[in-house]
Amino acid sequence: MKCALLSRIFAGEVSYGSPEEAFVAGLLHDIGKLVLWVNFSEKYTELINKSKDRAEMLTTGESQLGATHSQIGAWLLDRWKFPSFVADSALYHHEPLERIADALPLAQIVYTANLLSGKTADSREDGIRVAEALLGSSQEQVLGFLALSDEALGEVAQSFGIEIEAPQEIGENLSDTDRKMQENLGKEVRDISLLLGTIRNLVSAQAEKDILKVLHEGLQILFDVRHILFFLHDDEKDILVGKEVEGHQATSRANDLTIPMGLEKSLLVSCLLAGKALDSFSLGQSSDLVITDAQMIRFMKTDGMLCLPLALRSEYVGVIVVGLDSTKLSHLGRNFKLLEMFLSEATLTLRVEQLRERQLRRIQSERAGASFAVARKVVHEVNNPLGIMKNYLKILGVKLKDQGIELDELEVLNEEIDRIALIVGGLTAFSGETSRKWAPVDINALIDDLVKLTAESLLTEKKVAIQVDLDPNLPKPMSERDGLRQILVNLMNNASEAMMKGGNIYFKTRHRSAPLEGRESRGFIEVTVSDDGPGISEEMKRRIFEPFVSSKGSGHSGLGLSIVLNLINGLKGNIVCQSEEGKGTRFKIELPVGK
């Protein structure tokens, strides 16, 4: 087991592709001994006692039994269809150093780990020299690895209820200074191992919410901090937006809080602009803080806060806010190198996700635009033959009427042609073929009217209730009333159709990003339409705004949300879908207030 633990550690250090494979190879490298002991119990027990952990004596004695444990172990692993490199680790782990120097990495890793797992001081000293020669590890690093493996070994033994001897101290005559260095090195190795675990989780994260959850847990484990808030930079609006972390209720109140980048006196903004960590303690008096920062500290119920910038060259990604006291700040300062590595990975992962989301929105808009162009052509091309058909029916009707023939069938044909024209005409809404009438729009009044018209029927027919939370101080953006109404109707219909067993639809309005001195923008209106229905799968969410895509089965064209996206783009706004299966869906619309 110790050889397995060390093999995994060394595999991580030399960037071997599969540390877990190294663990298995280290665990099974001596399995040939078990085969010999089962088949030659007395002779092999005597041989082990005589050799006293001297490998050359053991293998010589084994050869007299017919084969060494290395050869038998490799043969058995081959029979069990393990990868050949794992079998090679068993075959070559007692070769001379000059031969193993030419081996592939896994054989070298297990060879080194085997030496370091020996009970004698000579074996360990040999292992330290081999680790430096084969794997490039210094003595200090190897001592740290040994301490880490001994600790893990103790935990494994305890979990199985096995008592093992305390590991023999290496270098019992170490000075206090050297011992302290060894302890610090062991801690550094553990911290880096935990950081690598966080990075692996980041790589597997599928969306922004998953990334934030991994980062939150990583900060808690690595740096023992509890009060953590995330603010991400919105490039288009040049603001910092608070983000909720799933599973951490304390962050929910900070969700969608906005801090304009023009508020340069705020620690959150100034740390991002300067590209360096800033804390509230260095300002001296709490009165020196801007009110926004003071509120943030009060919200976290801590003595102060540390703001950590997430920036990639000249691109702003966001800020991590950590609530803490001066003692915890000093502790973080001593681990700043590790913190910098953590921030670097966090920044890169979040930036890649932001770019992926931006690219996805661009592709959705381009696909919708291409479909709009097709729809316009369809409308034009279909209307022409329909007009010709109606004209010929009129002529035919005149001729037949003169002969006294009933024209009921012709009337039916006329009605069906009109119905086709109406259906095709519906594509004009999808294709964006409308002229816009821009004027100040009272969005709250628009929602109130919509609720009055639909609330009773929805509750009676579908057991769906409508809840509203409207900002009374909402400004009236320059927009287009009919387009906004169509957007809200489509989103409300989608929500009600998703909740087959009833539920709630929520309308909420807010004014975001209050004006700053010297700024022309009056911020933006945020309208959210959400429900507590079944939610949307990740696959469907990625294609939610594409034309002709629907999760509702037959009878649904899949045009509703494409029309919504097109209308939102025409109003110079933005729409985002947030959903998780089993937890409902939320559409967030942002509309500029204007100058």
In a domain, 216, yes or no: no
In a domain, 355, yes or no: no
- Reduced to 3 states (helix: H, G, I; strand: E, B; else coil), residue 228 is strand
pTM of the full structure: 0.51
Nearest to 324 by CA among 220, 244, 240: 220
DSSP state of 95: S
pLDDT at 390: 81
Q: How confident is the model at residue 412 (pLDDT cuts 50, 70, 90)?
A: confident
**Residue 45 sits in the same domain as residue 189:** yes
Q: Which domain holds residue 491?
A: 439-592
**Residue 11 sits in the same domain as residue 152:** yes
Which regions of 112-184 does DSSP assign to beta strands (E)?
A: none
Beta bridge partners of 478: 440
DSSP string, 462-515: H-EEEEEE--TT----EE-HHHHHHHHHHHHHHHHHH-TT-EEEEEEEEEES--
**Tokens coding 189:** 């190795």
Locus of tokens 């050949």: 84
Locus of tokens 């009921």: 408
Radius of gyration of the chain from its Cα atoms, rounded to whole angstroms: 35
In a domain, 215, yes or no: no
**Residue 417 sits in the same domain as residue 552:** no
pLDDT digits (tens, 9 = 90+) for 97-155: 889 998 999 999 999 999 999 877 778 888 899 999 999 888 888 988 998 888 888 88
Q: How many Cα atoms occupy the beta-carbon half-sphere of 328 within 13 Å?
A: 18
Task: Of 29-43, 242-256, 283-297, give the range with the top mean pLDDT.
Answer: 29-43
Across the range 552-563, mean pLDDT stands at: 58
**Residue 17 sits in the same domain as residue 162:** yes
Contacts for 541 with CB less than 8 Å, ≥ 6 apart: 577, 579
CB atoms within 10 A of CB 485: 16
**Residue 474 sits in the same domain as residue 499:** yes
- What is the helix, strand, coil percentage profile of the chain, to 5? 60, 15, 25
Domain CATH code at residue 291 = 3.30.450.40
In a domain, 218, yes or no: no
Domain boundary among 374, 401, 431: 431
435 has pLDDT over 60: no
**Residue 570 sits in the same domain as residue 518:** yes
Q: How far, in whole angstroms, is CA 539 from its chain's centroid? A: 15
CB atoms within 10 A of CB 191: 18
The conformational region for residue 353 under phi > 0 = left, psi -120 to 50 = alpha, else beta, is: alpha
φ/ψ of residue 132, rounded to 5 = -70, -40
Query: How far apart (Å, rounded) are the C-alpha atoms in residues 499 and 584?
Result: 9
**Residue 551 sits in the same domain as residue 412:** no
Across the range 445-465, mean pLDDT stands at: 88
- Give the chain's domain count: 4
In a domain, 341, yes or no: no
DSSP state of 254: G
Q: How confident is the model at residue 555 (pLDDT cuts 50, 70, 90)?
A: very low
**Residue 27 sits in the same domain as residue 113:** yes
- Reduced to 3 states (helix: H, G, I; strand: E, B; else coil), residue 533 is coil
**Residue 154 sits in the same domain as residue 43:** yes
Query: How far apart (Å, rounded) are the C-alpha atoms in residues 421 and 426?
Result: 9
Domain CATH code at residue 163 = 1.10.3210
How big is the CA angle at 155 (ends 154 and 161), to the nearest 5 degrees?
Answer: 85
Whole-number mean pLDDT of the chain?
A: 83
Domain boundary among 397, 431, 465: 431
In a domain, 271, yes or no: yes
**Residue 27 sits in the same domain as residue 166:** yes
CB atoms within 10 A of CB 426: 15
In a domain, 349, yes or no: no
